[in-house]
Amino acid sequence: GNSVTQMEGPVTLSEEAFLTINCTYTATGYPSLFWYVQYPGEGLQLLLKATKADDKGSNKGFEATYRKETTSFHLEKGSVQVSDSAVYFCALADRGSTLGRLYFGRGTQLTVWP
Amino acid sequence: DTEVTQTPKHLVMGMTNKKSLKCEQHMGHRAMYWYKQKAKKPPELMFVYSYEKLSINESVPSRFSPECPNSSLLNLHLHALQPEDSALYLCASSQDGTRFTDTQYFGPGTRLTVL
């Protein structure tokens, strides 16, 4: 079956620290992988995505590389800001997924202190 | 424009009320989704419409009734809800749901409280 495992939060960092949020997946094929971010009181926004192995998605200083050999899609940012405080969801859509169904990880709460 | 709009932003209703949530997109997308999200949890899929036809119902109780009047609009009719139905209801849309590479675009959600 399809599933996504995210590192357990919460994650608390000081401003300008390096961020890694781990995400590994199980899928029947070669899925598309997504990172969504949810700011307090808001809906989900696509942060970045990768649709094939070795692709790197990037946006707003965040990056994630689709690693088929380790079935991973870890999110990284070199220097976090207070405004990055949010919940981050890793998700996949499998080739056989009906109507692009997304499988979400549990979410990781990130808090950045000034 | 990648915007999905939802109204109302907040809704408080009693267990005997009937209310509706509305979702709209003007991206020409032909797949639209309803999700329910409880606090500190990922979104849970409820319904999927593809080309205005209900394609997925994730065994949602009949007190939730979806409707897709046209390709831009999606409604969720609520009746006789329970307090445990209190949650954030998210709408999303994608190109047409046939490509697993497509992005789902989410609206800001309706925060529903059932008293």
Instruction: State which residue of chain B sits closest to A42, comparing Cα positions.
Output: B108
Per-residue model confidence as pLDDT tens for chain B (115 residues): 669 999 999 999 998 889 999 999 999 999 999 999 999 899 999 999 999 999 999 999 999 999 999 989 999 999 999 999 999 999 999 998 778 888 999 999 999 999 9
Backbone angles phi, psi at B32, to 5 degrees: -135, 145
Residue B105 with chain A: CB contacts under 8 Å: 46
Quote the mean pLDDT of chain A.
94
Say how many C-beta atoms besides its own lie within 10 A of residue A79's C-beta.
11
Q: Characterise A71 by phi-psi region: left (phi > 0), alpha (psi -120 to 50), beta (else).
A: left
Residues 51-110 of B with CB under 8 A from A: 55-56, 90, 92, 94, 97-109
DSSP state, A17?
A: -
Of A31, A43, A87, the CB nearest to B108: A43
Look at A44 and B43 and tell me if their CB atoms are within 8 Å. Answer: yes
Look at B103 and A46 and tell me if their CB atoms are within 8 Å. Answer: yes
Q: Smallest CA–CA separation between B8 and chain A, in Å?
A: 13
Distance CA(B81)–CA(B66), nearest Å, equals 14
DSSP state, A100?
A: G
